[in-house]
Amino acid sequence: MSSDKDNLVGQMVEGRYHVESRLGAGGMGAIYIARDVKVLGKIVVIKVLLQEAFQNEYVVKKFRQEAEALSRVDHPNIVQILDYGEMENKQPFLVLQFIDGVSLRTVLKREGIDLIRTAHLVRQVAYALTAAHEKGILHRDLKPENIMLQTRDGEERAVVIDFGIAQLQNSVIAPKTIVTATAGTISYMSPEQLCAGSLTTASDTYTLGVIAFEMVTGEKPFNPRSPFQLLEMQRTGLSVMPTKLRPDLPLSAQTAIVRALAYEPENRYQTSRDFGNALFSALSGLHSTDADLIHRSVTPVSVNTGNVNAVGTHSSAPQATNGVPLEAAPTLTRGTEWTP
């Protein structure tokens, strides 16, 4: 829990960022809205480790690793890192792009959301994930709270945030990561992540499949009472197909979602981009020859995941603004094991 000594409202960070308000705080850090006085008052988000947390070397490494992950990838659907540094007391901080929007969680409806809207948003997130994967980054905690929606010039854009527990290949900050406990959000985990197994890029694709199911039906594909029961449900497969919950869903879209949720990683789409394209095609009536489907793909590589113990289970910040929670390579080599 943060204390008054951790409250930065009204302060100047590094003589440049004037902190105006706090969006929220979790067990490890706090998130603020600030203005960059050197860039004409540009609004930014500052993410800071709490004083108690930055005494933990492991937590600091994970925080720095988020900066490393975000510095590797430049994509319009991934939150941008603008600065990284330490305050006078050595408290590390990140300066991130401010996203004036809401989280995907806030727009989900019990009956599901518009299918064309779903097609566009899922494809954007899928492309963002593949861009990260091609730079050696697995997100590992994708969920509706970590997808921000921003509207500009009448067009809606999805932005993936919170790489706090991301797994990096060839990390400069933490070349080796000790396996401690499964990290992430249980209801969105792939089977292999749930049982602390080796992850591949298809693991993030599975998670995106869960989100797509929820977007079109308004419900999660599984509703277990425990992680063990969830794993058994995942192994057995869907008991209720999406079209039963959403009759206007095209069968081809259901096929795409079911494939993304395959228990075995090798039976899923081998890139998130492929899944995004398939679902977009199914929901928008396009054909597989559409130019959007012609993209270079990468084969998922296995990662001996040094699963991190939650750099904290992040409490959600208010979703009407940025929603950025706490806690980032070389191109993946085909068919090789990805050891962090």
Residues with a catalytic annotation lie at 141
End-to-end CA distance of the chain: 31
- Can you list the pairs that 184-193 forms with residues at least 24 positions away whose Cβ atoms lie under 8 Å? 184/140, 184/141, 185/141, 185/143, 186/227, 186/230, 187/220, 187/222, 187/230, 188/141, 188/142, 188/143, 189/230, 190/265, 191/231, 191/234, 191/235, 191/263, 192/265, 193/140, 193/305, 193/307
Residue 270 phi, psi (nearest 5): -85, -5
In degrees, to the nearest 5, what angle opens at C-alpha 338 toward C-alphas 198 and 176? 90
Token pair of 106, please? 């806030």
